[in-house]
Amino acid sequence: MSLNRLLRVIPLSTRMVMALLISLAQSYGIKGYLCLDDVVIEKRFSKRCPWTGWTFSASKGRKVYGLHIVVLLWCAGPVKIPVAFRLWRPKGKCAPSRYRTKVQLAQQMIIEMLTVGLPFAYLAFDCWYNARWFTKFLNGCGVTWVSTLKKNTCVVYRNRKVKVGQLARRLKLKWREHLGLRAVALCVYLPEYGSVRLVVTRNGRGRWEYIVTNDLKADLTTIVQRKASRWDIEVVFKDAKQLAGFAACQCGVPQAMVRHVALVLLTYVVLNELKVDPKDAGG
């Protein structure tokens, strides 16, 4: 409780904290990649918090009372550094003119990274952020992106408009031993966007996946590996909850919650930087 009270009054600039993390990512001097996603933090008793509300939690498979935190993660091998975040505010808890969707918040963060010149090769995100206006924005900024499509998304292939799930079952997928799945790559036209590279995969359990990217020259293996790299942000969310106290803040003051999130992300980075090889650990 003392820490919660401290978060309300401490003169901490979250912008400075995130600028520090961005500088750390830039100090590596290499071109990593970005992962975009949001995490739900359950806050069943925080009724006064302006960011909380009833929302669906994918991890629990049901609705919970909590808040969404949209995070942009920079990765380079084992290095994982959150470089931006936004707390999403539900429509009912802000003026209509101030409401922003999670995709709009993501756009703000991407603009920040382009402004500071953070080097990254591509941006990976799931189908929830695959809005046509957003991918058009990324394409206009020269950002390579990779995402997934829902099975009922319509594409144009060989002058015929078809749902991607139906198209997948007509294709001949080839076994890719190095990836452990069957897959095929082709170019299709995505209405309201343009030409994209589509990779259809099916694993040994029969699960289909429809990966899409604006990199028309990328080969099948590269696209699948880029999509798989999005899992890095799920690992960060899990570790931040278990090791850094992502859900620990009990203060309803808006500034305190924002500061708490920034400090949790900073704590995660410090812990990740301090990791050592178990063989070198001294008991």
pLDDT digits (tens, 9 = 90+) for 59-113: 677 777 778 899 999 999 899 999 999 998 887 777 788 889 999 999 999 999 9
Would the CA dihedral through 167, 127, 119, 275 be positive or negative?
A: negative
Instruction: Name the average pLDDT for the chain.
Output: 88
Residue 152 has pLDDT above 80, yes or no: yes
Placement of tokens 């084992």 in the chain: 78
Q: What angle do CA 187, 188, 190 make, to 5 degrees?
A: 140
Strand ranges, E, within 26-153:
32-42, 53-57, 62-76, 79-88, 120-124, 145-148
Per-residue confidence band for 32, with pLDDT thresholds at 50, 70 and 90: very high
Find the range with the poorest average confidence among 11-20, 132-141, 198-207. Answer: 11-20
Report, as an integer, the average pLDDT of 180-198: 96
Highest mean pLDDT: which of 229-233, 244-248, 272-276?
Answer: 229-233
| Pair type for strands 145-148 and 120-124 | parallel
Give me the DSSP letters along 15-60.
Answer: HHHHHHHHHHHHHT-S-EEEEEEEEEEE-TT-TT-TT-EEEEETTT
